[in-house]
Structure 1
Amino acid sequence: MEQTLLGGRYQILRRLGSGGFSRTFLVSDLHLPNHPRCVIKQLKVQDKDTGTLDMARRLFGTEARVLYQLGNHPQIPALLAHFEEKREFYLAQEYIEGSRLSRQIEEGKPWSETRVVLLLQEVLEILAFVHRQQVIHRDIKPSNLIRRHRDGKLVLIDFGAVKQVSTSPLMDAETGATNLTVAIGTHGYMPNEQYAGKPRFSSDVYAVGILGIRALTGIAPQKLDEDPVTSELDWRKQAPSVSSSLAHVLDMMVRYDFRDRYPTAQEALEALQNLPNSCQGLIGNHIYQTWMKGAHGLKPMLSGSLAEATEVDEASELTAVIKDPDSTSLFPLDAGFTNGHSPEGVLPQATSSSQRVNRLGFWRRPTVMASLVGVGMLAVALWQSGLTVAFEPKTSDGMVAFQSADPPDLALNLGMLLPPAEKVVFLTDQGDSLLKKGRYPDALGLYDEAIQIKSDHAPAYLGRCKTLIALKRPSEAIVACDDALAYSAYYPDAVRSKGNAEEQQGRLLAALALYEQTNQKMPAMSQAWVDRGRVLQKLGRSAEAIEAIERAIAYDRDSVEAWTVRGEATLALKRYEQSILALEKALQLDPDHEPAIALRQQVRQALGR
């Protein structure tokens, strides 16, 4: 088999993993320039009778559809292709170079509370996106989370056990329960209802809570005691110093009865972000930046050559595992500095309070010059150390909100030292962050710089398209979106953004066609349904607009725009009571939403109120 090209294009380099139902291989794609590496997952079908093959096709087809749907998220591997060959089934997926979280969460080595909060937040942010696409992962565990080398971010892998609840005719709309009758998951991370074959969104929340408890206590979930009366996990005695607020959130995540848990990852994330001492106010919510170990002085070196990839005996592992698990590791930057000593010998011991490193990596400063010198020394030390840095505010009393220092410049300056391939990703991510903050000219500059380095980097063109739309330059935006689609054929977000640009120019039928195309490519993208409904309403097709908006609300009930458009469409059809209800819902979500306020006033006038 090693001498055969899979799918006529993939040359096997080595086996990466093997489990009960699948094998994974590191391969080269001979159809693309420079023969880039990717990972092939092969479904192992033991019994090849017609019934078994049909079932295998359905399972693999489901996984492929979900991966296509989710793969545009930057922390979920993209699906490159899927095919059947000689009654064998294959997925070709993005190659993720990094270290599994299971190598960092070690038995008997509990993490700090700050570190656990950051981990939970990052995992829940990814999972909230997954749940918004109406997908239950069902196998959240440390080995399915990869700390990616190029940027230090977590990547969620292995969607072989997913359940797409939006396609289930027997789904309970209130609870998210499905009609699945087979228990799939990992012992210790599976809640009661998942064992019974009835997973919910809150089943994933349970698994993330167990992940946090494992990191906080250093104890495997199978070894945690249960209350003999309530069946609740009795874990707090293993972490006696944990704050009551974090302990409460974790307890809510791992309740025995699914009805007592946070219903989806989004609610759990919001609870975590509302902790009294949460890590808020950083760039986004936190910054992860990875520095690889240097070969010569300060020169970074990419880890994970082919010789370093090693086979793992674990099913559905869609990543190469690097032999050196410490080449990236999460390191709370301020740990130890409040006590006047440096962690793990990375930085020299502080000699006075004015020289200690503060929470965000700046020297406490008697002068501006001392601050700048501290930043430079810190950057050099971190680069040499090969550690992943988590910039996290913290005091000896616990975590506090960032209030004064300005980390973006530090992060940007450190990012500029990355090798070109990593720098392109870094610049695009920074551009996305600035775009969300409304700093459009700055974002545009970073996207342009990324494109100068790598002229076929589709995400930078998409960012450029969105920024130009925000700047009311739709004709230029269309060119940027076309460039993104030229370099990435399957890019629903670029299709939708091009529709936004066409709509901005008043070309409503062209925009509608693009929104419909987006709906076909990625049905779970709720905003594309909102866009479609909005344009249909502009065209006077109110009944069709309501149908589109109903689809949008089914995926995202908290979309202010969706409820507002519904209110406008029902008003046009003189369904006044329905219109009032929709607009009240919009204003419940955002009391200051001016379009909803104006429409509600129109409805009241029509009703004589």
Structure 2
Amino acid sequence: MNSHFLDGHYRILKVLNDGEKGKTYLVEDVNFPGSQFIVKQLCHPSSNPQSLTILRRLFASKAAILEKLGEEHDKIPKLIACFEENEQFYIVHEFIAGNPLTDEMIQGQPLREEQVISLLSEILEILVLVHSYGVIHRNIKPANIIRRESDEKLVLVNFGIFNEAITNLVDNLEYMPIEQANGNLKYNSDIYALGIVAIAALRGLPAKEISNLRSQKNQLTGEILWCHKNLKVNSKLAKILNKMVRCDYRKRYRYATEVLDDLKKLTNIEQDQQKQHQKKLLLVITGVAGCIILGVGAWFLQLPKPVSDAQQKLYQEGVNKYDAGNYEGAVEDFNQVIKLDPQNALAYNQRGDAYYRLGDYEQAQADSSQAILLNPQDANAYFDRGFAFSELGKYKEAIADYTQAIKLNSKNAYAYYGRGLALAQLKDNKAAIEDFNKAIALKPQYPEPYLQRGILRRRLKLRQAAIQDFDTVIKINPSDTKAYYQRGLTQFINKQKYAALKDYTDAININPKYIEAYLNRGDVYSDLGEKLEATEDYNTILQIDPKFIAAYIHRGIHRFSFGDYKGAIEDYTAALRLDSNNVAAYNNRGNAYLELGNKKAANQDYSQAIAINANNALAYYNRGVIRTKQKNKQGAIADFKKAAKLFQQQGEQDSYQDAQREIAILQNNSAPAPTTRLKSGKREKN
């Protein structure tokens, strides 16, 4: 084969890139003269036949997704073909004629704000679709944003979708957030990278100076300090960019739609201001200056009392620090504002928000109360105090505040949601669901009310309705790990074990450190008899958090299930080292000792579980099993009676019947020994 041809018919015109991850070529298809395409070679680290088989499957699935994206959006290059040659993988996609954004980002020549807003909006609209397919671009930078010649629109190219399947190499560090560099990729990792691109455009920084920008960080918060005093930037745009590039992904925008919403609000405000300005000019030009005088006079009458420059500056600094995640610094600034003006309700409100973020809910509640005292019509203050009360466990007070916030602003979906959460805590399920319904009606794209309504519906055994709610959350945000996890729990209850496995796996793929998803997936694998897979999930949890007690308990139960009683005892003992009062560990270790014939140790563990919790029905039941084996008939009957009473109180009907059967057998000496008795006792999970 001619070395200048790929797949026999792609003639190489130019090598565009030659890096560790492979080569990128501009090619011509000789079967269609004049047609140009991009061919990307994807290097992989192994030539092992088994590894290649796995890689081929991954390559095909990733290519199918990329093909679908190209069909759905005209600003994503269309996938033309993919092929394998000499155990190397290649993808072919359309060539976009145009110039990369690097050509527009010239050193010392910042882009105008409206240009940056347009850039953000165009790319975010692409990311909305991309993320909805469960895809993360991974490689957003100016070189991968092309200004298309034909219509001057921006096109997003060079997806890193194959990176996880083909290679573990990391590049593009200038635009990459910390969680991506650490292998914990999130959907909002793309939002961070795009935020860095926008900041560089506003500053007029070329790619080679981006690393310097990232090194200019607040020593206290670790956030990027990019907006220096000589840079004139709209404060609302700066706030949006700050939230896009937060170091902690949990404080960042979660979804591209959220950033787009804020950008639309910003442009709408500017358009309204422009219209107002034009209206005033028109009034002057047409000679009705009196109307302006009357309007301005009325406006001045509505103004609050003047604030000093010092107050205004301190307040704005506090807001900026809050937006940057420096809540301690924000509190200090708001303290100074309040000292200068003790009647400043807004400062109390903002300081309360900062205290809430710091976990000081008592002080947050006190500040919200002061804001309400100074301005009883402030719906936001009631709303904030409601959340503080909820965190303090004062749900009735929280409900009263949410209700007042709703009276002042009946369109506040978040207030209905907050009240629904508090009502659920008080077990008023019907009222909670009604509030979640109202929140959904007001804000249909707000996922949290669907999620919480789904959890409530599952508790009420409305499982199909619960699954529909979780489906809706996933449709709104395909990267919502909680929705996959909660749907997995519901599927498992419905005996749909393989569906549950898929949901837990999807949650883990989105968040590789989702401990609860590993725990539940391990339990499903264990129930299905998948010994190695279950063990691997429990082991993974303990690698992430060696002090996660439930993982030892569940791995112990799993080991017990296939006869590894010594291994189970090791796990339960490890759990007890971390928590010497863990009743489940004592109960289950007693079961393992019993299987090994060590009745004395088993009896001690069950008795210890009872000493810790006198209402633990399982411990009484299990000790009854031991006493039966020890021929202690009266002691066994007493334990089974206590267990039966507790099981009945707890609504555990099957276990209640088990205990009653044991009592009947013991009281009827002539009856044959039971064959169905759980000779190792009942197990208990955390």
- Both structures adopt the same fold (TM-score exceeding 0.5): no
Give the number of the structure whose residues are more often strand, by fraction.
1
TM-score bracket, normalised by the shorter chain, equals 0.3 to 0.5
Q: Which has the higher contact order (CA 8 A, sep 6+)?
A: 1
TM-score by length of 1: 0.42
Which has the greater radius of gyration?
Answer: 2
